[in-house]
């Protein structure tokens, strides 16, 4: 991993408007500034962007004081590819109780294309984080134990247990592949063990079934003899049953004849009843037709007399209608006369009203009338009006009388018309019915007489057939009285036959089962041989996979690879340690040690010696311990840089110079300069003034009121 660009906002002591840090402009640089200015915060930003880990206990503690969110964008290169990671964090909102809710995190991963970046983010933050680890081929712990010498953590590798040191070396050397192979071998071994157990269970089951083979072989001839014997008994019983069946069928045929004749007798009786009914009907019709023909003349004369009487009534009705017309005309005349009288009286009344006015003129000539002339004319008009009124009232009385008489006549006319119409219709219908009955009687009487003769003849024939069938039925009844005995004998014989057939089928089924079992035994013997061979093969394959699992385990090839890498680490660490101590100090890494019981166990212990002898790591001073740690970490970083499985040609040293005297610092600087060609990037972090000019590029970190800032010079 080679850093390219770092951009951050509201991260720890850095606020907004912080310019990006471009790493492409230098090879070796010194990150300097006073303590607390934010030098190590830049490294925290890188590790938080890549792994979500930093010095703080929680992500919210990394957010700049007074802000609610932060973000870090980090670009880096691995091999020929360029990547960009963007990680953001937002605090949760404060609740009414004063507690803060759950915050939100965001992680995006992008890969550079020809023109821009393309997202390769996973479905979850965990999935995206795993992609980053896969790209870097190391996790956070491996990084801080090799390429990053954190402030206060330079002894991270030295203070680890031997097992933890081995795990760090395994990650640096990319030995996780062998862990995967070991797991795969163990999975295959377990699979073969399951298959072996299944095959062994099958073999036990097969042997249990084959234990019955002798019984099947002994039972086979016994069953065949029993089938032959029972077959003879079945044939004999079947012959007896056939004879009884034929006798029974003959009796059943006669029984069916008996029942058939009984049905014929019942049908003949029904036909007799039917014919008796028709004979009665024919005789009734003949009597009725003869009666109609004999009374036709008398009934016809009665109808004609009734019609003559109706003609006389119609003549009386005509005279009533003439009288009604006369009364109606007289009434109309009187009503018309009264209408005219009423009009004339109204005109006289109008003239009198005019004459009653002063200075009235003559209503005829229009000349002026005097008092006497007006009085004379008014008297004349009043007389005329009185006469007309008397005539009007006389006419009105006569109209009322005539209308009363007219209503009575009209009611009588209506009654007479209704009566005559009803009687005439009745007479016409009687005449029509009488004529129709006469014609029907003349045409149907001979037919009914002939039908009666045929019915009587059919009754005579049916009675003769009934007599004959009754005689036959008596004869058949005497024969079928033995049928119940035959039925009982047949049932007994059939029951015995079925029992014999059941036993025969049982023997046959058992024979089939025995033969199938013997065939199954032959097949099982083949399967037994096959399972035996398969068990041997599975045992061999499991043994191979067990050996492979052991070979690829941490005690196998991984231990050998670590063992082969230890001389390289020792050589490089001692080379650097000798340069820093004028060859006074020397370290040795032991991969095995003897126990008190005399056994040898795997370990990874660090032995340090100087002119005073070999001592434990804790017995050395801070400056001496830092030189040991520095030498080991540089050796691990060089090993990591050389391994294609962990492409991290970057070294970051955070502090540690304060434990050294002036000569020790110079030697550390010389050591760093001597290894710069082994790394793409080396970044040294310090607050010591005299070391700032010891490196070609300086990144100065300062603290302002608005937060930390940095500048490149």
Q: Is residue 182 situated within a structural domain?
A: no
CATH number of the domain encompassing residue 422: 1.10.287.510
Q: Which two tokens stand for residue 108?
A: 């995006």
Q: Which of 74-78, 363-367, 483-487, 548-552 has the lowest mean pLDDT?
A: 363-367
Q: If you average pLDDT over each of 248-257, 400-409, 647-656, which comes out highest?
A: 400-409
* pTM given for the model: 0.47
CA–CA separation, 175 and 181 (whole Å) = 10
Do residues 711 and 41 touch, judged by C-beta distance below 8 A? no
633 and 653 in a common domain: no
Helix, strand or coil, per DSSP, at residue 267: helix
Percent share of the chain, pLDDT over 70: 92
Q: Is residue 184 situated within a structural domain?
A: no
The pLDDT of 459-467, averaged and rounded, is 83
Q: Does residue 357 register a pLDDT over 80?
A: no
Residue 644: per-residue pLDDT: 40
75 backbone dihedrals φ, ψ, rounded to 5°: -110, 140
List the domain range (segments joined by +) for residue 577.
140-174+555-644
CA–CA separation, 686 and 154 (whole Å) = 14
Residue 145: per-residue pLDDT: 65
Q: How far apart are the first and last CA of the chain?
A: 24
Under the banding of pLDDT at 50, 70 and 90, the label for residue 362 is low
Q: Is residue 183 situated within a structural domain?
A: no
Under the banding of pLDDT at 50, 70 and 90, the label for residue 646 is very low
CA–CA–CA angle 308, 312, 317 (5° rounding)? 140
Buried b (16+ CB within 10 A) or exposed e, 313-345: eeeebeeeeeebeebeeebeebeeebeebeeeb
Residue 358: per-residue pLDDT: 60
165 and 49 in a common domain: no
Q: Is residue 185 situated within a structural domain?
A: no
Q: Residue 96, exposed/middle/buried by CB under 10 A (0-12, 13-18, 19+)?
A: exposed
Q: Does residue 363 register a pLDDT over 70?
A: no
pLDDT tens sequence across 11-33: 999 999 899 999 998 899 988 88
pLDDT tens sequence across 116-126: 999 999 999 99
256 and 366 in a common domain: yes
Q: Is residue 100 situated within a structural domain?
A: yes
363 and 247 in a common domain: yes
129 and 155 in a common domain: no
Residue 544: per-residue pLDDT: 92
Q: Does residue 542 register a pLDDT over 70?
A: yes
Q: Does residue 241 register a pLDDT over 70?
A: yes
Q: Is residue 152 situated within a structural domain?
A: yes
CA–CA separation, 66 and 45 (whole Å) = 19
Q: Is residue 55 situated within a structural domain?
A: yes
29 and 80 in a common domain: yes
pLDDT tens sequence across 696-711: 899 999 999 889 999 8
683 and 535 in a common domain: no
**311 vs 304, 354, 584, 634, CA distance in Å?**
11, 66, 173, 156
Residue 640: per-residue pLDDT: 65
Q: Does residue 206 register a pLDDT over 70?
A: yes
Q: Which two tokens stand for residue 225?
A: 């003899």
Query: Which of 644, 667, 683 delimits the end of a domain?
Result: 644
634 and 519 in a common domain: no
Write the Ramachandran bin of 583: left for phi over 0, alpha for psi from -120 to 50, otherwise beta: left
Do residues 658 and 625 touch, judged by C-beta distance below 8 A? no
Query: Which of 525, 550, 575 delimits the end of a domain?
Result: 550
80 and 15 in a common domain: yes
SS3 sequence of 624-663? HHHHHHHHHHHHHHHHHHHCCCCCCCEEEEECCHHHCCHH
CB hemisphere CA count around 242 (13 angstroms): 6
The pLDDT of 345-367, averaged and rounded, is 71
**447 vs 285, 371, 442, CA distance in Å?**
10, 111, 10
Query: Which of 440, 463, 479 delimits the end of a domain?
Result: 479
The total domain count for the chain is: 4
DSSP 53: -
157 and 264 in a common domain: no
Q: How many residues does the chain have?
A: 713
Q: Which of 149, 164, 161, 154 is nearest to 622 (CA)?
A: 154
559 and 613 in a common domain: yes
Report the DSSP pairing between strands 28-32 and 697-704: parallel
Under the banding of pLDDT at 50, 70 and 90, the label for residue 647 is very low
627 and 698 in a common domain: no
CA–CA separation, 144 and 637 (whole Å) = 10
Q: Does residue 364 register a pLDDT over 80?
A: no
The pLDDT of 268-287, averaged and rounded, is 84
Under the banding of pLDDT at 50, 70 and 90, the label for residue 584 is confident
CATH number of the domain encompassing residue 115: 3.40.50.300
pLDDT tens sequence across 207-237: 888 788 888 788 888 888 888 888 888 888 8
Q: Is residue 597 situated within a structural domain?
A: yes
């Amino acid at each position: 991993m080679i850093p390219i660009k770092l951009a951050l906002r509201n991260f720890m002591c850095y606020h907004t408007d912080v310019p990006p840090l471009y790493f492409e402009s230098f090879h070796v640089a010194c990150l300097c500034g006073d303590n607390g200015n934010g030098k190590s915060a830049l490294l925290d930003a890188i590790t938080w962007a890549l792994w979500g880990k930093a010095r703080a206990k929680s992500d919210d503690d990394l957010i700049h004081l007074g802000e609610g969110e932060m973000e870090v964008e980090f670009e880096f290169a691995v091999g020929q590819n360029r990547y960009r990671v963007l990680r953001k964090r937002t605090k949760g909102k404060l609740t009414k109780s004063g507690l803060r809710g759950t915050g939100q995190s965001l992680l995006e991963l992008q890969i550079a294309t020809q023109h821009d970046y393309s997202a390769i983010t996973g479905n979850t933050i965990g999935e995206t984080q795993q992609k980053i680890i896969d790209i870097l081929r190391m996790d956070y712990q491996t990084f801080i134990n090799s390429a990053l010498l954190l402030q206060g953590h330079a002894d991270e590798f030295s203070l680890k247990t031997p097992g933890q040191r081995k795990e760090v070396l395994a990650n640096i050397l990319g030995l996780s592949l062998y862990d995967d192979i070991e797991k795969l071998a163990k999975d295959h071994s377990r699979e073969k063990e399951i298959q072996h157990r299944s095959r062994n269970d099958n073999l036990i089951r097969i042997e249990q079934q084959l234990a019955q083979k002798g019984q099947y072989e002994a039972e086979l001839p016994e069953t065949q003899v029993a089938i032959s014997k029972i077959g003879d008994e079945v044939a004999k019983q079947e012959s007896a049953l056939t004879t009884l069946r034929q006798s029974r069928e003959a009796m059943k045929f006669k029984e069916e004849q008996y029942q058939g004749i009984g049905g014929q007798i019942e049908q003949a009786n029904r036909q007799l009843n039917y014919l008796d009914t028709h004979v009665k009907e024919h005789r009734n019709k003949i009597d009725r037709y003869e009666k109609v023909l004999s009374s036709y003349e008398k009934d016809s004369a009665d109808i004609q007399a009734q019609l003559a009487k109706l003609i006389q009534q119609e003549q009386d009705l005509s005279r009533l209608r003439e009288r009604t017309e006369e009364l109606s005309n007289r009434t109309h005349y009187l009503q018309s006369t009264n209408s005219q009288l009423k009009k004339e009286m109204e005109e006289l009344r109008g003239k009198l009203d005019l004459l009653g006015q002063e200075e009235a003129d003559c209503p005829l000539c229009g000349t002026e009338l005097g008092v006497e002339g007006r009085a004379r004319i008014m008297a004349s008009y009043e007389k005329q009006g009185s006469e007309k009124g008397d005539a009007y009232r006389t006419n009105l009385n006569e109209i009322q009388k005539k209308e009363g008489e007219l209503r009575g006549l009209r009611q009588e006319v209506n009654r007479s018309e209704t009566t005559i119409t009803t009687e005439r219709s009745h007479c016409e219908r009687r005449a029509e019915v009488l004529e129709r009955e006469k014609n029907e009687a003349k045409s149907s009487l001979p037919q009914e007489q002939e039908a009666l003769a045929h019915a009587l003849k059919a009754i005579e024939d049916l009675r003769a057939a009934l007599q004959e069938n009754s005689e036959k039925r008596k004869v058949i009844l005497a024969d079928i009285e033995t049928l119940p005995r035959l039925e009982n004998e047949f049932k007994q014989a059939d029951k015995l036959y079925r029992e014999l057939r059941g036993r025969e089928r049982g023997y046959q089924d058992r024979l089939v089962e025995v033969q199938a079992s013997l065939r199954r035994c032959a097949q099982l013997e083949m399967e037994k041989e096959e399972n035996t061979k398969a068990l041997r093969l599975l045992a061999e394959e499991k043994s191979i996979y067990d050996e492979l699992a052991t070979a690829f385990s941490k005690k196998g090839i991984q231990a050998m690879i670590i063992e082969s890498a230890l001389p390289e680490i020792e050589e490089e660490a001692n080379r650097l340690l000798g340069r820093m101590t004028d060859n006074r100090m020397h370290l040795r890494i032991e991969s095995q040690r003897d126990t008190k019981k005399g056994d040898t166990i795997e370990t990874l212990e660090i032995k340090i010696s100087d002119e005073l002898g070999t001592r434990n790591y804790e017995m050395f001073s801070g400056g001496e311990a830092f030189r040991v740690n520095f030498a080991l970490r540089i050796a691990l970083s060089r090993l990591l840089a050389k391994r294609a499985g962990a492409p991290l040609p970057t070294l970051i040293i955070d502090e540690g110079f304060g434990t050294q005297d002036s000569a020790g610092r110079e030697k550390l600087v010389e050591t760093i300069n001597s290894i710069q060609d082994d790394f793409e990037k080396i970044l040294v972090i310090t607050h010591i003034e005299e070391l700032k000019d010891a490196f070609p590029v300086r990144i100065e970190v300062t603290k302002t009121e608005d937060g930390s800032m940095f500048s490149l010079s």
